[in-house]
Amino acid sequence: MRKTLQDVASYLKEIMVPETHEAYAINPAYTNVSLEESIQEGVLAFRAFLVRLYDVLYAKGDVYDSSKKVAHEYENRTTLSVYYPFLHNVSTILMNIGYHGMPVENTQSLACGNTVFNGKLPVSKNLECLRFLADCGICIDGIDINEKKQNLSDIKTIKITYPDNPTMLTGLKVMAIAEIDHGTLVNQDIFLRCDYRVLKKDETDVLSIVQDTIKHLSADVQDFILQLHQRYLDKGLTCVVEVKGFHIYMKYCYKRKDLWGINASLNNGYHINVKSTKTHEYTDTIKTFPPILQELIAKGYGCGRKREIGHCDGGCRGLPISLDDSVLDIRDDIETWFDQEFSCLQKK
Task: Tell me, rounded to whole angstroms, the distance of Cα 124 from its chain centroid.
Answer: 29
What is the pLDDT at residue 67?
A: 82
For the chain, give the mean pLDDT.
92
- 161 SS3 class: strand
Please say if the pLDDT value at position 306 is more than 60.
no
Mean of the pLDDT values across residues 266-293? 95
**Sheet containing 319-322: order of strands:** 238-244, 247-254, 257-265, 269-274, 319-322
pTM of the model: 0.92
Residue 274 backbone phi and psi in degrees, to 5: -120, 125
- For 79-119, write each residue's pLDDT tens digit: 999 999 999 999 999 999 999 999 998 889 999 998 899 88
- For 206-228, write each residue's pLDDT tens digit: 999 999 999 999 999 999 999 99
What is the pLDDT at residue 40?
A: 96
Q: Where are the domains of the chain?
A: 5-187, 206-347
Please say if the pLDDT value at position 312 is more than 60.
no
Helix axes of 36-64 and 123-135: crossing angle, nearest 10 degrees: 120
**Across 14-23, 147-156, 232-241, 288-297, least confident range:** 147-156
Q: Which residue has the higher pLDDT, 175 or 185?
A: 175
307: confidence class by pLDDT, cuts 50, 70, 90:
very low
Please say if the pLDDT value at position 239 is more than 80.
yes
Q: Which residues contact 162 (CB under 8 A, 6 or more apart)?
A: 49, 137, 138, 139, 168, 169
Please say if the pLDDT value at position 69 is more than 50.
yes
Please say if the pLDDT value at position 24 is more than 80.
yes
